[in-house]
Amino acid sequence: MSFTGKYELQSQENFEPFMKALGLPDDQIQKGKDIKSISEIVQDGKKFKVTVTTGSKVMHNEFTIGEECEMEMLTGEKVKAIVQLEGNNRLVANLKGMKSVTELNGDTITNTLTMGDLTYKRISKRI
């Protein structure tokens, strides 16, 4: 299954508490909570390029399945991570105490970030 495509954010759960736990300032959290972000994924075999545009903020990450890479977090901090593919539709990475799971089902992509007992969930649809 190919992840390649553009996806628009449809809904999210626990955005504010999760961003607060990450240490983002309240003004950024308020600005970010209602912006519909667009994620663009380009998959070439085991290589991925992911661009997430939220308003004027653009986050760009590139990685190869199973190889260490540098990834930008929501806070702008860069951390080392290894992304694994589970099955043919699940990308899993551990980023500095946070687990990221991205699952593709048909035209819907669900990204779940877990830190301790706090979970942030984003659901996006292919456009």
pLDDT tens for 40-76 read 999 999 999 999 998 888 999 999 999 999 999 877 8
| 3-class secondary structure, 12 | strand
Instruction: Give me the pLDDT at residue 36, please.
Output: 82
DSSP 8-state class, residue 76: S
Instruction: Give me the pLDDT at residue 81, please.
Output: 95
Alpha helices in the chain (DSSP H): 15-22, 26-32
Instruction: Give me the pLDDT at residue 99, please.
Output: 95
- As a whole number of angstroms, the distance between CA 4 and CA 113 comes to 21
- State the amino acid at position 42 in one-letter form: V
Q: 34 pLDDT band (50/70/90 cuts)?
A: confident
Q: 92 pLDDT band (50/70/90 cuts)?
A: very high
Structural domains in the chain plus CATH codes: 5-126 (2.40.128.20)
